[in-house]
């Protein structure tokens, strides 16, 4: 086993070691454990902790620059506890720490789920055509399964305030933009105004993931029985309008012929291969399997573009300020402008 006992940014060894021994010491051999930061996340910090021949995942908030109500690790924990017994695949929640003296805030550990995570154009380019077709369908079916759960039945009846969800989303994300963005972008103000003017009635109430996309899944791509091993990164989950999940998922989706989408780095090119459904086909399949009407889909896609723009602006600000494990600007200004323009076009149709 690799002996690496150095400090890792955001994970001071001594207090974490004491907590691990009290929380999971009866389940794992902790001798000589070490931590590896996991790339891919742009918000909460994620680490793999290795114990001899086993491992777990630790999730904690950013090191600073945290906005009110954001990065609530206890909510993530509550969600995992509720969903783990259901047909929606999530990692097993193992232990929660609410003692601020350990890491300065709440964090938790969960099982380290084996499988593939497809984050890049090259990752999905290595797949066979039938695998891409299966992935398109599986992504939609899993989202429909999530939205079919009755919150009260899984102990999440008080997990959010679904009444006025869309109005509150527009207002809250506007506040986050004002608090975190460094850009002067009048078009974003116009987008928030138009979203506020075109808010549809909530279709129904469901558990929403809040950041649903292909690279937030851990996959078994075996030829006999491909399946989703786990859906991860639930930090934005709540109760609300399920079509908000679909709108953001379509914002992440990269159609083959969408050249403008190449300016948005998140999930860049991941689905831009033959065999993947188009965004329009994704929406149609969701409507079929969920039974939901998509007459107001343009609003949800525009709101998805707005959310991703705000997220990227906030991430860029935190990197610039040194509040993440990396210490440099990501240069996401152009991606934010493209997303805002796409959102405005959706609302003009």
- pLDDT over 60 at 255, yes or no: yes
Q: Which of 53, 11, 51 is nearest to 34 (CA)?
A: 51
Burial bucket for residue 29 (CB in 10 Å: 0-12, 13-18, 19+):
exposed
Gap between the Cα atoms of 316 and 266, Å rounded: 13
How far apart (Å, rounded) are the C-alpha atoms in residues 38 and 341? 32
Q: What is the DSSP string of 257-286?
A: T-SGGGG--TTTTTT-STTSPPHHHHHHHH
User: Cβ(36)–Cβ(47) under 8 Å?
Assistant: yes
Judged against a pLDDT cut of 80, whether residue 323 lies above it is answered with: no
Residues 262, 230: contact at Cβ < 8 Å? Answer: no
Q: Name the residue among 106, 14, 116 with its Cα closest to residue 58.
A: 106
- Go through the domains of the chain in sequence order and give each one's CATH number: 13-111 (3.30.200.20), 121-348 (3.90.1200.10)
pLDDT in tens, 169-221: 999 999 999 987 777 889 999 999 999 999 998 779 999 999 999 999 999 99
**pTM of the full predicted structure?**
0.89
């Amino acid at each position: 086993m690799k002996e690496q006992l150095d400090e890792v940014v955001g994970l001071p060894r001594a207090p974490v070691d004491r907590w691990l021994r009290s929380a999971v010491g009866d389940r794992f051999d902790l001798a000589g454990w070490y931590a590896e930061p996991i790339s891919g996340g742009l918000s909460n910090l994620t680490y793999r902790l290795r114990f001899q021949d086993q491992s777990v995942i630790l999730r904690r908030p950013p090191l600073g620059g945290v906005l009110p109500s954001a990065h609530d690790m206890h909510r993530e924990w509550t969600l995992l506890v509720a969903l783990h017994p259901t047909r929606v695949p999530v990692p097993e929640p193992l232990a929660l720490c609410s003692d601020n003296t350990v890491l300065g805030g709440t964090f938790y550990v969960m099982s380290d789920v084996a499988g593939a995570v497809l984050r890049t154009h090259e990752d999905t380019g290595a797949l066979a055509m039938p695998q891409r077709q299966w992935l398109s369908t599986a992504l939609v079916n899993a989202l429909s399964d999530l939205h079919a759960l009755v919150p009260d039945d899984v102990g999440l009846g008080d997990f959010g305030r679904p009444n006025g969800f869309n109005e509150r989303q527009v207002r809250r994300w506007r506040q986050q933009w004002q608090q975190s963005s460094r850009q002067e972008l009048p078009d974003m103000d116009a987008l928030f105004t138009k979203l506020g003017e075109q808010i549809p009635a909530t279709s129904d109430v469901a558990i929403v993931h809040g950041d649903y996309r292909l690279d937030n899944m851990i996959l078994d791509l075996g030829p006999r029985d491909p399946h989703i091993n786990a859906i991860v990164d639930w930090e934005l989950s709540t109760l609300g309008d399920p079509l908000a999940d679909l709108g953001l998922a379509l914002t992440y989706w990269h159609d083959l012929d969408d050249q403008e989408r190449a300016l948005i780095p998140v999930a860049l090119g991941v689905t831009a291969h033959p065999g993947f459904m188009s965004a329009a086909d994704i929406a149609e399949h969701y409507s079929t399997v969920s039974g939901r009407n998509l007459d107001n889909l343009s609003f949800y896609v525009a709101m998805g573009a707005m959310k991703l723009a705000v997220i990227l602006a906030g991430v860029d600000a935190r990197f610039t300020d040194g509040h993440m494990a990396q210490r440099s600007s990501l240069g996401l200004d152009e991606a934010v402008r493209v997303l805002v323009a796409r959102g405005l076009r959706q609302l003009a149709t």
